[in-house]
């Protein structure tokens, strides 16, 4: 089994530590998608520690849960979580985007733990519909999850897949929306509004839950089981882009901004303080 027995407090501590590793990896790579990695990190932490039946040991088991990261650009957070779960040694994070590295700047199946190559937006949900249909055909116990960005929802292929997921009553499918409300050019509502996004998914035949995407208990509750029999689940996770680093939070330029030496130092100092505070409470 892939699940761990971490408390909310343990997960909070781990998230801070993984944020530091994510930032260090982006700094080392000289490239990456900082803001979105930080916004989805708590979601990934909950998925890989509490929800997904996925581990290095069972990764070839046909009955493992499937996770496809549709917002592939937030790969640094995913790589950090996979390293933490033992899919590969943590030192390898230092090779992200380096010449001849297997660690491409978007998810690739060359890396243990990655199901599908993603990065072009609007691809994860259709793939997951296919995976979920396969699961239904086989009466298999696995669930299928994807993570979407809110800017990504402008891609029409998402809505083709949303229609099909409801048509085929795929209650083994959960789409998580990392709703950080920012995309590369600015506020999603200004670039191409997708609101009311909850009503859109409901109108397409999905069961929708809205949670705080940085609250471990809320995420766990929403992701633990399908929301409604016979319907795919959409978990809208309200998040903050750049979460955990004061000067990056809710600032569009950190979509793919890479911290300078000084900025990294300041960011790590923010996170060190958060870590120390959490340890005090413990």
Partner 1 sequence: MSAPAPSMYSPAAKAMAEKLGLKMGRANLDEFAATLMELAKADRNIIAVTSDSRGSGKLGPFGQALPKQLVEVGIAEQNLVGITAGLAACGKKSFGVSPSCFLTARSLEQIKNDVCYSNVPAVLVGISSGVSYGALGTTHHSLHDLAVLRAISNLILIVPADNFESRQAILAAAKATKPVFVRFGKAAMYGLHKPETKFEIGKAIQLRDGNDVAFIATGETVVHALLAAGQLAECGIQARVLSVHTVKPLDTNAILKAGRECRAIITVEEHLVNGGLGEACASALLQTGVSKPFHIVGIPDEDTVTGSQADIFRHYGISMEGLAETAMRLLK
Applying CB under 8 A, the residues found at the interface with partner 1 are 62, 66, 109, 115-120, 122-123, 125-135, 137-138, 156-157, 160-161, 163-164, 167-168
189 neighbors 151 (Cβ within 8 angstroms): no
**CA-atom Rg of the chain in angstroms:** 18
Q: Is the CB of 27 or the CB of 142 nearer to partner 1? A: 142
156 vs 229, beta carbon nearer partner 1: 156
Q: Minimal distance in Å, beta carbon 132 to partner 1?
A: 8
Q: Please state the closest distance from residue 167 (CB atom) to partner 1, in A.
A: 8
Tell me how far, at minimum, the Cβ of 118 lies from partner 1, in Å: 7
- Provide, rounded to whole angstroms, the least separation between the CB of residue 90 and partner 1: 26
CB atoms within 10 A of CB 62: 10
| Angle, helices 124-137/157-167, rounded to nearest 10 degrees | 20
CA distances from 75 to 39, 106, 193 (A): 12, 6, 25
Q: Are strands 182-183 and 186-187 parallel, antiparallel or unpaired?
A: antiparallel
Instruction: CB nearer to partner 1: give 41 or 166.
Output: 166
The residue (of 136 and 212) whose beta carbon lies closer to partner 1 is 136
Shortest Å, Cβ 170 to partner 1 = 11
For partner 1, the closer of residues 108 and 266 by Cβ is 108
Within the chain, what is the greatest distance between any pair of CA atoms? Answer: 54
* Angle at which helices 261-281 and 8-29 cross, to 10°: 170
The length of the chain is 282
């Amino acid at each position: 089994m892939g699940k761990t027995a971490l408390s909310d407090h343990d997960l909070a501590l781990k998230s801070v530590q993984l944020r530091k590793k994510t930032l260090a990896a982006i700094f080392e790579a000289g490239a990456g998608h900082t803001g979105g990695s930080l916004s989805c990190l708590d979601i990934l932490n909950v998925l890989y520690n509490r929800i997904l039946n996925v581990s290095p040991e069972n990764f070839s088991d046909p009955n493992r849960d499937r996770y496809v990261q549709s917002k592939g650009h937030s790969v640094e957070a995913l790589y950090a979580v996979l390293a933490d779960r033992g899919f590969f040694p943590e030192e390898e994070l230092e090779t992200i985007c380096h010449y001849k590295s297997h660690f491409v700047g978007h998810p690739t199946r060359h890396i243990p733990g990655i199901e599908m190559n993603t990065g072009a937006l609007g691809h994860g949900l259709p793939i997951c519909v296919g995976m979920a249909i396969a699961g239904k055909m086989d009466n298999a116990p696995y669930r299928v999850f994807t993570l979407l960005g809110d800017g990504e929802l402008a891609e029409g292929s998402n809505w083709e897949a949303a229609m099909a997921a409801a048509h085929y009553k795929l209650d083994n499918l959960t789409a998580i929306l990392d709703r950080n409300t920012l995309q590369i050019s600015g506020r999603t509502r200004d670039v191409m509004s997708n609101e009311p996004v909850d009503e859109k998914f409901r109108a397409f035949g999905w069961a929708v839950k809205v949670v705080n995407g940085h609250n471990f208990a809320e995420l766990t509750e929403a992701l633990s089981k399908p929301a409604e029999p016979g319907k795919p689940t959409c978990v809208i996770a309200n998040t903050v882009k750049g979460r955990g680093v004061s000067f990056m939070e809710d600032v569009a330029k950190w979509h793919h901004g890479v911290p300078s030496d000084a900025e990294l130092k300041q960011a790590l100092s923010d996170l060190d303080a958060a870590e120390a505070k959490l340890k005090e409470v413990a």
